[in-house]
Each structure stands twice: as structure tokens, then as C-alpha cells.
Chains A and B, each alone.
Chain A
Amino acid sequence: MTAYLITGAKIVGGEVADLLIDNEEIVAVGTGLQAPADAETIDATGLIALPGLVDLHTHLREPGREDAETVHTGTRAAAVGGFTAVFAMANTDPVADTAGVVEQVWRLGREAGYADVYPIGAVTVGRQGTQLAELGAMADSAARVRVFSDDGDCVWDAALMRRALEYVKAFGGTIAQHAQEPRLTKGAQMNEGALSGVLGLTGWPSVAEEAIIARDILLNHHVGSKLHICHLSTKGSVEIVRAAKRRGLDVTAEVTPHHLLLTEELAASYDPVYKVNPPLRTKEDVEAVREGLADGTIDIVATDHAPHPVEDKDCEWSAAAFGMIGLETALSVVQHAMVDTKLLTWADVADRMSYRPAAIGQASDHGRPLEAGAPANLVLVDPAAQRTIVPEQSTSLSRNTPFAGMTLPGQVVATFLRGTPTVRDGKPVR
């Protein structure tokens, strides 16, 4: 295995230092490190070294929708985006609700080798919201599932949600809730507000998210388990989570890159590339989720990378699928929305996109500070680069990026997974 000496990188955006990687680990961090005879030297002057990013919310689509993404293409896209670990959502076909399916996804991830794949198990059988899936079997499987979610659908039945939260205490699991009250969002197409009324698209009211978040925080407090809120999108949700944390109630939350940058106004184009669940919200909501991420109310950024084939987006808005891809643009969007606006430092980015998501997902090989002895999972970023997003150039199998045509800052130059480069010069190694 080749050793690498990375020279002159700003470690999490701070001090300039060299990093020596060998035998899957970071061997040394310091100035003036000498390269061993067999080491390859990488000049990282001007680049920022971050711990490998961890995405707690990725749709890899395999098994079932290999026309949209596979574990191979999805993890390759993840590596290009600077990720070394992704959590694969359970809404595949068949649903990841048994040990067999989660082990298949886990094994496909190991074979692909671009990023570690942590399967998320469904909370209920077939994600139907009626009967608990065999959570213990998934936890005990080779995939060692610790995060469970019916994402795509809400575990709306309060009694079932309570039982799920209680049950996973036995193995330290977390329930990741897709907060969407189904009766309030029947046929919903976009954020409910002044614009939805004008466009004639059925509204998805903020309260349908906020009511579930409030309920689940209280349920979780009652049973003392671990609750994570997926893709929090509204100002009201930020306020509820902030108040809960202030009261000492246990909850973690994520926000997507697209909710940090885009607003509902894009729906006026009726271009379904902007159709996503939860929907793009208002400028006020965008400001609130940015503040929430900055002050720690929202713990992490997670992509909700949701690939769809062209035909599922090249149609009428109401007929189109919900979702957008995001792995390859996440870090750039975060830099643009949070770092360049001085809301977060690069050290904070390492926290929100690596340390904390790894901690929530219990991915112990990931989310470790760049220190000697840590697994060599890291990413080199050029913060001064500018790039225009071209859908046809995506590494993902799908093209449904809402950032098409936008110029965003930052470029992932290299990604290392346990000492092996998965990306060099911004391109996948294989």
C-alpha cells in the first residue's frame, strides 16, 4: 500500500501542516515531515484538509431502482463530493426491513470501495407504518444497523413511534424521523403559502412538519431514547428544536444543502427539478435553518441525495418524483451558504459534516479529528475554486440537480478512504 505525504494543507482550515498517511492510518501531522522512500508526495498548498465527510441521509436506490443509482455509482458520487461514509436510506425495493436486505446493501458498499456504506433499516415492515420491522435482527446483522427510518414516509402513528423509540434502546439505536403529518399533506406539491395559492399547487404546510417534530421530541423524552429529525426545513421547526435543547431534551436534527440555499420561488418555473420533499421553503425559513445550523440547534448537514431517472422529472410537476441529487454539490453549497457568509468556520464544517453525523450514526471509523492514529479518512478541498454545475457531468447516474447552471465555490481535489485515494484531481480514481 502506497504511503502519502500531503504537504502544506490547512488542517480543518487552520494551521498549515503536512499529513503522513500510511497503512490506512494518519501516521503523523506536523510541519516539515519527511516522506518515507516509497511515499508519494501531494502538494496541498492552498487546500484545506477536512476529515472525510459523512452523509447520514443518502438514497442509493439499490436494490430496485438501479436505473436511478446503484451502490457503486452513488458511493462514487459520494467520494467526488468528499464523503467517506454514507448512510443508505431504507426505501429501496425490496425495502431494507430485514437483515438480508441491509446485509446486501452493506456488502455492495464494501465491494464498490468508494465510501463505507451504513445501511439504515426501515422502522416498519415495508415502511407501511403498521408493524415494527425486525429491528433487532438488522442491528445484529453484519451491517450492524444503528439508525432506523421510514424516510419517504413519516412514522405517523404516535403509539408505533413510541414503541420504535423504546425498542431500539436495547441496542442503542436511533430513530430518524421523516416529519410529515400525512393528513395535512395529502397530495402536497410545494410549500403552502402565498405562492402555492397563486400557482395552484397543493400546499405542504410547515405545521405538518412542526407538529410531528414537537410530538416526537416529547415522546422521546418520555421513553429516553435517541431521536433524529431528518431534513428539517422550517423556521418553526428550528424554534421547536432550539427550545427543546434549551430544556435539555435529547434530539438531533439535520438540514439539507438545498434547504440552506434554495427557496420556493423556483417552483414558479413548474420545472420538477425543484420538486422535493419536504419542499423548498421561504427566504425566512432559509435564514432560520442557516442560523440553526450555525448555533448548533441543527446538528448536521445531510444531503438527502435522491436520484431519479430523467423520465421521472421530464414531465408535469404533479406527476414528477420528489427529490434532488446532492452528494457532489453538498460541500460547495455549504461553503457558499455558511462559510462564505461567515456563519460557520471550516472547523465548524468538519463538525457538522463529519464529526457529528458520524457520532449520530455510530460510525466509529469516521468523523475523527485529523490526528496521528486516526483512520486515514480525509478530503482535500480547494476553497478558492469556482465551478459551474453541469448536470451532464455528474458522477451520479442521475441528473436531477437543482443547482444546474449555478456557479458555486469550492472543489474537492482528493478524497482518501482508509489511506487509499478514491478521488484525485477532482476525479474518481477508478
Chain B
Amino acid sequence: MRHLLSAGDLSRDEANLILDTAEEMRSLADRPIKKLPALRGRTVVNLFFEDSTRTRISFEAAAKRLSADVINFSAKGSSVSKGESLKDTALTLQAMGADGVVCRHGASGAPHLLATSGWMTGAVVNAGDGTHEHPTQALLDAFTMRRHLGSLDGRRITIVGDVLHSRVARSNVLLLATLGAEVTVVAPPTLLPVDMSRWPCTTSYDFDAVLAKSDAVMMLRVQRERMGDAYFPSAREYTRRYGLDVHRMAQLPENAIVMHPGPMNRGMEISAEVADSTRSVIVEQVTNGVAVRMAVLYLLLSGSNESTEEPPA
């Protein structure tokens, strides 16, 4: 593993290695000193072309707990807003000796470009690219599910919402399928890609029909502005047909959990009562995010990964 660009690039063994490593990292959180010297002297750049305070903070905490030097490069307040290209930004990071670059970008494929263009040699971690993927989110979701449900082999996971525009959905479907789960995505037809034949999952337009067969339900954020593009008639109608409220939650199997990658639209895709219920693991997802990102950075940057063709410099 040289970079982490797509959840689909991970083999089952690699995914499990990350999740097992994350368990070790997670136990660190319960110790008084939450810090390991593993990445001392390494530089991790958080290169964020889109605002995402929560993801950036999560990566920052992960890198710092591994003793890496962290540089936050927020494109909003940087030269990018003055028209600097992705290429020049990459060349700058290369010149500064970035060992790892955590990239969040509004354009699908931007981290892929950083990794393959030859502009820089550091390891690239995709922290969310356009409407493409968000692999560390999928890993932390799988990690959270594994803690509650045990092995994901044969587990039934339902993902509900704006699948068309969701990088979380894409990464989750790919990773969960690799881990042996049976995934169903639920959305109005307008919010599903027109052809899903390459997705390793089943689809449904009927949320109620799949509730009883769900060991975990993951609700996706639905942006209200999608209404303007006629993806659905109104927020109310969306909530009625695809929102998770207490009535729908009551249809779930007894030990099923409720997830959301955040930030939530309370009252839109998820009711406040559900979000704050005992079945909700939403806050735990955030905690686990740090452990999973520590595991990813550790495996990519520590140089101990035997399968790495070119060890990071």
C-alpha cells in the first residue's frame, strides 16, 4: 500500500490489517499519555481545498498522536485562491519535504492525480474527493460496525440517502463488500447513479421494506439545495419517504445500530430523537476516526510495511 486513494484498492487482508492496527491505536486513547513516537521526524501535510474542519482535526489529531510534524494547508486562505494550480501546490509540498499528504478536494480524482502525476513522491491519503470517495470514512465506519456487530461477514448494511453525490457511500459500498457484508443502498431513483451495475450492492427505493433486514443503517447527509435541481420535490417529502425517525427505528432488529458520517441535518434525513438514541453510534464514529486515521498514517508512513514497493523516503 503506497497511497490510500480508493477503498476499492484495499484487499480484505489490507483492510483487516488497518482495522486491527486501529484497535491498537484505539486502546491508546484510554491511556493517560495518548502519544506514540512512531512517526517522529515525518511531516504530514493536511491539504484541504474544501472546508471540512472535522475531518482535518481528525487527521491532525491522528498525526500528532503519532508524533509527526503536521502542517495544515487550507486552500481557502492560501495561494490557491489566488489561482495557484494543484500542480504548483504539489511541487511546493514536495520542495518542503512532505512525507504524507492528506488531501481533501472538491474535484473527483484530485488525490489520484497527486499520486500519479509525478509532481510529488509522498504518500497520498484521500480525505474526500468530489463525489468520488472518502476511504478513511469507510474504514472508520467499518471499524465502528465491527466493534458492535463483530465480523462483518454476512452482515446486512443499509445505506440511505444521496448516493449519487456521496463519496461516503461509494467508499463504504466498496469496503463493506470486500469485508463480506451484504450492502443495500436506498434512495429515491433520482439520487442513485443511473447505472449501478458496477457497484457490489443491491438497491432499493423503499426504505421501509429493508428496515427489518438491517444490522446497521447509515444515513447520508442530504443537501437541501438538491431540491432546486428537482432531485426531490421537498424536504418534507424526502423526510417522509427516506428519513429515519423513531417509528422506522422501531422496525430495526434489536441490536441494529444507527450511523451518520456527519454533519447531520437533524429533522431532514435523521430525527433528533434517533440521532441521540442509544442505538446511535454517531459520536463514537468520530472517536474511532482518529484511531483509524492513525492506523492509516502509521501503515503508510512508518516504513515497516513489507509489501511497500517504494518505501516512503
Contact = CB atoms under 8 A, between A and B. Distances in A.
Interface of A: 189, 192-203, 205, 269-271, 311, 314-319
Interface string B84-113: 011100000000000000000111111011
Given A193-B194, A193-B195, A200 B108 contact: yes
Contact of A197 (B109, B112, B117, B199): B199
A400 to B, nearest CB: 15
Contact of B108 (A193, A199, A205, A271): A199
9 contacts: A197-B194, A198-B193, A201-B130, A202-B131, A270-B108, A270-B109, A315-B113, A316-B105, A319-B86
Contacts of B193: 194, 196-198, 203
Given A192-B194, A270-B109, A314-B85, A200 B130 contact: yes
A199 B109 contact: yes
Interface string B124-151: 0000011111000000000000000000
Top-4 shortest CB links A-B: A197-B193, A200-B132, A270-B109, A316-B107
Contacts of A205: 194
A189 B113 CA distance: 16
A269 B117 CA distance: 10
Contacts of A199: 108-109, 132
Interface string B180-210: 0000000000000111111100000000000
Contact of B195 (A194, A314, A316, A318): A194
Given A315-B87, A316-B113, A198 B129 contact: no
B65 interface: no
A319 B113 CA distance: 12
B221 interface: no
Contacts of A203: 193-194
Interface residues of B, number: 28
B167 interface: yes
B108 A311 contact: no
B86 A200 contact: no
A199 B194 CA distance: 13
A158 B133 CA distance: 39
B112 A270 contact: yes
A198 B170 contact: yes
A130 B86 CA distance: 36
B170 A318 contact: no
B108 A317 contact: yes
A194 B107 contact: no
Nearest to B109: A270
B251 to A, nearest CB: 29
A199 B170 CA distance: 9
Given A194-B193, A199-B109, A314-B85, 8 more contacts: A193-B195, A194-B195, A197-B195, A200-B130, A201-B108, A202-B131, A315-B86, A316-B107
A270 B86 CA distance: 14
Interface of B: 85-87, 105-110, 112-113, 116-117, 129-133, 164, 167, 170, 193-199
B178 to A, nearest CB: 15
B51 to A, nearest CB: 17
A320 to B, nearest CB: 9
Contacts, number: 75
A19 B80 CA distance: 60
B107 A319 contact: yes
Contacts of A194: 193, 195-198
Nearest to A320: B107
A195 B87 contact: no
A200 B199 CA distance: 12
A195 B198 contact: yes
Contacts of B130: 200-201, 318
B197 A200 contact: no
Contacts of A200: 108-109, 129-133, 167, 170
A319 B85 CA distance: 10
Given A316-B86, A317-B108, A197 B196 contact: yes
A270 B111 CA distance: 10
B198 A316 contact: no
A195 B109 CA distance: 13
A294 to B, nearest CB: 28
Contacts of A270: 108-109, 112-113, 116
Contacts of A269: 116
A312 to B, nearest CB: 10
B31 to A, nearest CB: 39
Contacts of B107: 316-319
A203 B164 CA distance: 11
B227 to A, nearest CB: 15
Contacts of B106: 318
Contacts of A189: 108
B50 to A, nearest CB: 12
Nearest to B163: A197
A205 B193 CA distance: 12
A246 B105 CA distance: 50
A317 B116 CA distance: 13
A318 B197 CA distance: 24
Nearest to B173: A198
Nearest to A196: B193
A318 B107 CA distance: 6
Max chain B C-beta neighbours (<10 A), residue from A205, A270, A315, A316: A316
Contacts of A315: 85-87, 113
Given A196-B193, A316-B105, A311 B85 contact: yes
Contacts of B85: 311, 314-315
Contacts of A271: 113
Contacts of B132: 199-201
Nearest to B8: A198
A203 B86 CA distance: 24
